Structure 1
């Protein structure tokens, strides 16, 4: 049938024979929010829309027309259990991953993700240091060693001289000059050295094999604090990187001015140099010395071996964010949070099982810490050596074991109906809802946890500011406090009111790893634009990229709601679908290139070749194609509304690249089973449930698998027809 998704067997209300159902229905009040059914060209498929002004995170759009019911989840931590499913289809808490002869777990695939590839194939690199192919220490060369006329050719050298003249006495500019292409890496290294020695105020930019030059904004800023000769000499000193060398600025008895110079050098070169004021014959000057770790030193074989150690384990955590758990383990083990890799982030208010790999920690050392971790709600198991880290997205999906408590029908409950009547009615509602979703699936929204449900400022707003490269606004949004005076909100409020990162850091709870990392950076680099950028850079890449991804997820959620409301429930001309044999969805949508995407034609729409379940919508990014129908225009207008019409979805200063991906419009739960039972007397705690219902309110147990990046709360919402 054209465009049709198979329906489950309809449970017609007129044919229900369960005792008491009819009388219950006759007395039941009509729901205040009536479900509006939209049909498309006479097709039996339906899209049900419910508009709700309070549905901020996820549009209230459903794919099935069953009644649904009310209930509550996460009354207890054990009511929501999430278990990662590895690439072999095994739940990570039940069996260790299959070991290969080399010691690597089978889920450690050597093929990197699309985003990893993109990040490591960036066409532009800013060579503010000596090129990587010239790691040998060298003495500061004399100007005579660098003849630009010989290295570049006289015509290009003359052109460079003319370019430099245009930069003098002008405002900061992004103007560039190409010096040509240089295929030999040693030749490129000589060009980098020669240009920067002759013109320290220039930055060399490599777009291999081409070299371009532009003004160095750091030089312009420093030259406003010190003399031009000092600025040039300092940049030559930085460029040479002679181990053990130092540079001293001229005498400066103005303390405020020296402080400004110290702050600039710390902010821009803090990882490379250290500064100190000293007095000599009644005058004070600033001395700059290269840090010992400014240049990479040769590591011993033992040190290299230690850094190549990878230990895999299964982490079970309770009521902890994934990143919070990692921060605690990193501190206890003396490594960085970035030394931990994982396939996906799991819920906080849940019991979760997931695979992780930590670098530079042996299995024995990790085992010694397990007792300490257990005190913080973390249990480690299946600890073993592997040969490489995990990659984000390297999982098949997640298994969920959920309990929904306090079940009741939508609308006002009938206090006159017998308990048996209510039980029978709910049994029918639950069966219809679960069977419908089992067969038809649900709208594949990103869940509210993607945006920080309940927060004053949600993550997508922070991500939008980052995509606009407005680091200060993004940071202020990040530090917007919640209502109330809990320690975290108090620390955030103090920072926004005082701009004092050091005092705010002392107030921030130790468990808030992201906030503390950023406050440390702000204390070191200042709270200006550059300091804010350094604060964002202090976060591991997986934390930084979360916020722009949240924005793109918001756009995707809005796109799917608009698509269903305007184009209906069948595949239409211009829609995107997978180009594949057998129409089976690939294992990982993020790793599928645009070449595998097919645009539905008029003939395919008329012939019903594709169904709604095969339609994809793109997550905004720089490698995706957009639908060739009204949805393509919608994406353009939506991004333009946020000022991103020319966005390249790259934030170079934060080393962020968003290639985008394709996400199926619908998702389907696998291996779904359920059990409805009358609740026994409840244990204390959790859930606002009246005393009358405690004894006899039914509970629903659900068990199912979802593909990676699909949300159990969204599946539950389709089943229940409300936000659980």
Structure 2
């Protein structure tokens, strides 16, 4: 059973009324196995050993017809202006952890070097980071340091890398704010064609002239500058020259850029992003060089497809022994022509084991083991048949909110949406009960405000916390420093928290809709409109716009639609809400949290939440089950207490973004 805090985020309303039963999941790691289903309906190959380069999947057997009517229909908001005065967002370079890339001791030495630059004349200061014989690793070091510390310049005296303060940065930081100088140097380093950067308003003409002169003198070959007026305030905007000749790459560099290697990743008890960070550090590349279709569970054995660029199959295979020490096995390594895209999958296949089954309520003390097993057999059969035919309420699972944590992710997300950055940071660093190193570090920061000392206590395995503590140490713990702390996280990590809040609202909306409006489709409900010959979901490229239809009174009376076609919106700035009492419910629910006028944009953190439409119900496909007596013996062959219990094996497919734990919760009628 989970803590009450988990159950709060997943309402106790079910779609079926069978009794259910208790049981234990994830007792051992092998009890929860996830296999990705690719966009063509094939299970990802689960080979045990690494294949030779060029080998392809040998198993052409495809999954059974895979329904897709439960997939989330995500609103797209991809309009980006390249006009002067409107900045183009720069791509995230991934989660740089200098502790992984440089090693902890060198990373700490670099942090101290940066602090020293504030107090002394930097002209004579220089730090050696050591020697890096692998050119890919050198490139990773250069890019990571420039992204983390844009005011530093890196010098290579092969194979050694040294750092010193960039004199151009020092000159610019005397003309503009320090955070503007840092952001400008990140903009210059990214060199995204057509991108622009805008400094803050500056009504002093002489000062603007000085800034123009500096930028044209130092970067005139790369950029052009222009002053523009916006609502009575004048600012300087800078953009890359369109007629700029691209950097000439060597034949070897061009060849490397075109290399893509696909593989199947099997990981145990690891987050997907954590696994990518380990592999990137070992290969000397960036985490963003890896692409994947979806994030997989941590507490499980998972199989998923990945593609890495700039790495040959042979070079990837050479690192497999290192990866295996971290709980990762690679197979089906082969060359491909392009990267993967997030969401390019049909779903996931699950092989689950539920142990120690027992009925709900007190068991009759006079009942024999055989009678209890017979009763459990009836309960399991009824539960599985109900979920096969009716499906389950498509709630977001507890892991969406930070399962078991004292302060859950949705509360952090609410603070971010209200742009209360200091509260969001304090909630993020709320410690768990106990004295584990992570909680000690968090507790120390909240009690003392000393980010540097907290960073020294924080385990290396906590990259998010370490990134934020570094930023808080550099910029302070005031509102501006807290903004910088959140910006130190990659976009995918920052946006997770507001999404968690919206997911909680969606869960509550789903339960309220079913409790108050029943199991029939009602006037004003939203359904997904399908036309003749149209597929059951977005096309595989994700370019279709979902046709959202509002159910009319006549359609309600004629029962044109089923409950499995009803959609509920995830809050955002592009979705429409149901035109019945649910629309009112959404407004009141958001107002209760102080979000009546929320635009679902956090400009200071470069976050935009367009929202999406999520089916009210989900249905497992190819669901099968087996009930059997546990083989409970210890190492000496003696029967254990578990030997008289039953175990349930479940096998089924789910569409992408659906949660196996929620399906299991509907079957068992209890929080897991």
When normalised by structure 1's length, the TM-score is 0.66
Cα pair distance change 1:504/1:659, threshold 3 Å: same
CA distance in 2, matches of 1:90, 1:564: 34
Question: In the alignment, which residue of structure 2 is the partner of 1:396?
Answer: 346
Question: In the alignment, which residue of structure 2 is the partner of 1:235?
Answer: 211
Question: In the alignment, which residue of structure 1 is the partner of 2:8?
Answer: 56
For the aligned residue pairs, the C-alpha RMSD in angstroms reads: 3.6
Correspondence 1:677 to 2:628:
yes
CA distance in 1, matches of 2:540, 2:552: 22
Question: In the alignment, which residue of structure 2 is the partner of 1:13?
Answer: none
> The residue matched to 2:653 in structure 1 has which SS?
strand
> The residue matched to 2:218 in structure 1 has which SS?
coil
CA distance in 2, matches of 1:468, 1:722: 34
Question: In the alignment, which residue of structure 2 is the partner of 1:656?
Answer: 607
Question: In the alignment, which residue of structure 2 is the partner of 1:78?
Answer: 30
CA distance in 2, matches of 1:683, 1:658: 53
Out of 415, 423, 435, the position equivalent to 1:465 is 415
> The residue matched to 2:649 in structure 1 has which SS?
strand
Out of 588, 600, 605, the position equivalent to 1:637 is 588
TM-fit CA distance, 1:536: 2.1
Unmatched 5+ residue regions in structure 1? Answer: 1-51, 101-112, 132-198, 204-211, 221-227, 246-271, 273-294, 685-690
Correspondence 1:87 to 2:39:
yes
Question: In the alignment, which residue of structure 2 is the partner of 1:371?
Answer: 321
TM-fit CA distance, 1:528: 3.1
Identify which range, 75-84 or 303-312, moves more after superposition. Answer: 303-312
Out of 537, 540, 546, the position equivalent to 2:496 is 546
For residues 344-368 of structure 1, what are the alpha-carbon distances to aligned partners after superposition, in whole Å with 9 as ceiling and x for unaligned? 2111111111122223333222222
Cα pair distance change 1:682/1:509, threshold 3 Å: farther
Q: RCO higher in 1 or 2 (8 Å CA, sep ≥ 6)?
A: 2
Question: In the alignment, which residue of structure 2 is the partner of 1:216?
Answer: 200
Identify which range, 536-545 or 230-239, moves more after superposition. Answer: 230-239
Out of 650, 655, 663, the position equivalent to 1:715 is 663
Alignment of structure 1 residues 197-208 onto 2, 5 Å: none
Question: In the alignment, which residue of structure 2 is the partner of 1:485?
Answer: 435
Q: Is the 8 A contact 1:465 1:473 kept in 2?
A: yes
Cα pair distance change 1:54/1:386, threshold 3 Å: closer
For residues 149-178 of structure 1, what are the alpha-carbon distances to aligned partners after superposition, in whole Å with 9 as ceiling and x for unaligned? xxxxxxxxxxxxxxxxxxxxxxxxxxxxxx
For residues 316-348 of structure 1, what are the alpha-carbon distances to aligned partners after superposition, in whole Å with 9 as ceiling and x for unaligned? 111111222122222222223233222221111
Cα pair distance change 1:53/1:333, threshold 3 Å: closer
For residues 165-201 of structure 1, what are the alpha-carbon distances to aligned partners after superposition, in whole Å with 9 as ceiling and x for unaligned? xxxxxxxxxxxxxxxxxxxxxxxxxxxxxxxxxx999
Alignment of structure 1 residues 419-438 onto 2, 5 Å: 419-438=369-388
TM-fit CA distance, 1:465: 1.9
Alignment of structure 1 residues 116-155 onto 2, 5 Å: 118-119=77-78, 121=80, 126=85
Alignment of structure 1 residues 586-625 onto 2, 5 Å: 586-587=537-538, 591=542, 596-625=547-576
Cα pair distance change 1:696/1:80, threshold 3 Å: same
CA distance in 1, matches of 2:85, 2:219: 22
Question: In the alignment, which residue of structure 1 is the partner of 2:229?
Answer: none
CA distance in 2, matches of 1:632, 1:604: 19
TM-fit CA distance, 1:77: 0.5
Q: Is the 8 A contact 1:400 1:705 kept in 2?
A: yes
Question: In the alignment, which residue of structure 2 is the partner of 1:579?
Answer: 529
Question: In the alignment, which residue of structure 2 is the partner of 1:564?
Answer: 514
When normalised by structure 2's length, the TM-score is 0.71
Cα pair distance change 1:93/1:500, threshold 3 Å: farther
CA distance in 2, matches of 1:517, 1:447: 27
> The residue matched to 2:644 in structure 1 has which SS?
coil
CA distance in 1, matches of 2:453, 2:331: 39
Question: In the alignment, which residue of structure 1 is the partner of 2:648?
Answer: 700
Cα pair distance change 1:584/1:417, threshold 3 Å: farther
Cα pair distance change 1:367/1:523, threshold 3 Å: farther
TM-fit CA distance, 1:68: 0.6
Q: Is the 8 A contact 1:373 1:379 kept in 2?
A: yes
TM-fit CA distance, 1:243: 5.0
Question: In the alignment, which residue of structure 2 is the partner of 1:259?
Answer: none
For residues 7-61 of structure 1, what are the alpha-carbon distances to aligned partners after superposition, in whole Å with 9 as ceiling and x for unaligned? xxxxxxxxxxxxxxxxxxxxxxxxxxxxxxxxxxxxxxxxxxxxx8972120001
Alignment of structure 1 residues 310-329 onto 2, 5 Å: 310-329=260-279
CA distance in 2, matches of 1:406, 1:90: 33
Question: In the alignment, which residue of structure 2 is the partner of 1:385?
Answer: 335
Alignment of structure 1 residues 532-543 onto 2, 5 Å: 532-543=482-493
Question: In the alignment, which residue of structure 1 is the partner of 2:298?
Answer: 348
Out of 503, 510, 519, the position equivalent to 2:460 is 510
CA distance in 2, matches of 1:442, 1:592: 28
> The residue matched to 1:695 in structure 2 has which SS?
helix
CA distance in 2, matches of 1:322, 1:213: 33
For residues 532-561 of structure 1, what are the alpha-carbon distances to aligned partners after superposition, in whole Å with 9 as ceiling and x for unaligned? 223222222222221111111111001001
Q: Is the 8 A contact 1:340 1:358 kept in 2?
A: yes
> The residue matched to 1:397 in structure 2 has which SS?
strand
Correspondence 1:528 to 2:478:
yes
Cα pair distance change 1:477/1:592, threshold 3 Å: farther
Q: Is the 8 A contact 1:505 1:520 kept in 2?
A: yes
CA distance in 2, matches of 1:650, 1:389: 29
Out of 374, 379, 391, the position equivalent to 1:441 is 391
Cα pair distance change 1:595/1:400, threshold 3 Å: closer
Size of the aligned set, in residue pairs, is 524
For residues 254-288 of structure 1, what are the alpha-carbon distances to aligned partners after superposition, in whole Å with 9 as ceiling and x for unaligned? xxxxxxxxxxxxxxxxxx9xxxxxxxxxxxxxxxx
Identify which range, 584-593 or 509-518, moves more after superposition. Answer: 584-593
CA distance in 2, matches of 1:645, 1:315: 44
> The residue matched to 2:262 in structure 1 has which SS?
strand
Cα pair distance change 1:667/1:536, threshold 3 Å: same
TM-fit CA distance, 1:121: 3.1
Q: Which has the larger radius of gyration?
A: 1
For residues 604-630 of structure 1, what are the alpha-carbon distances to aligned partners after superposition, in whole Å with 9 as ceiling and x for unaligned? 101111111111101111221111111
CA distance in 2, matches of 1:114, 1:62: 23
Cα pair distance change 1:425/1:587, threshold 3 Å: farther
Cα pair distance change 1:590/1:629, threshold 3 Å: farther
Q: Is the 8 A contact 1:396 1:587 kept in 2?
A: no
> The residue matched to 2:8 in structure 1 has which SS?
coil
